[in-house]
Amino acid sequence: MIPRALVAAALHVDPGALPEGDLPVARLAERWLGYLRATMEAEAPQDHPEFWTFSLLCDLADTAPDLCLDTVLAALALCGTAEEAALIAAGPLEDVIARNGPAVIDRIEAAAAASPRFRHALTGVWPQGSAGTPLWRRIEAARAGPTLDSGLPLPPA
């Protein structure tokens, strides 16, 4: 669950303007993936009503890396195509690694070992200035295998 106060702070709104209760990670993942699907070809994705999901994930990558990674994992489980997985990889997965990689690297390695889909998605992450670092060497080891651009189907969730 993503605490309501954290959602309000990330979106710069009064908590009273939000629905009651905390936001389930699975619900954010579902709504954010819907936003991605709806705006893949959009000229102004920031005008879509679900743009808030993008803003929230950007903030979580900075302030709550474990919640961001939880959302990434939940969204990857819902992906239907390698293109969707690539958007996740180049978006919040790359962001959370670039901004808080040391805080989540153990979880990333565990998820990659347990999930061919997650391991596959990791191949879509770029080093963002961390190439050659111990962190990036761990990412490269965790993602060994066919890349997202290999043309292979998305591994099962």
For the residues 22-32, what does the mean pLDDT come to?
Answer: 97
Residue 114 resides in a domain: yes
Residue 131 confidence (pLDDT): 87
Residue 135 confidence (pLDDT): 95
Mean pLDDT (the chain, rounded): 93
DSSP assigned state of 148: G
For the residues 14-33, what does the mean pLDDT come to?
Answer: 96
Residue 123 confidence (pLDDT): 94
**Which tops the pLDDT comparison, 142 or 144?**
142
Residue 2, SS3 per DSSP: strand
Q: How many domains does the chain have?
A: 1
For the residues 3-20, what does the mean pLDDT come to?
Answer: 95
Residue 94 confidence (pLDDT): 96
For the residues 43-58, what does the mean pLDDT come to?
Answer: 94
Residue 133 resides in a domain: yes
Residue 31 domain boundaries: 4-150
Residue 157 resides in a domain: no
Residue 123 resides in a domain: yes
Residue 156 resides in a domain: no
Encoded tokens for 61: 């990558």
* CA nearest to 121, candidates 96, 92, 83, 89: 89
Residue 21 resides in a domain: yes
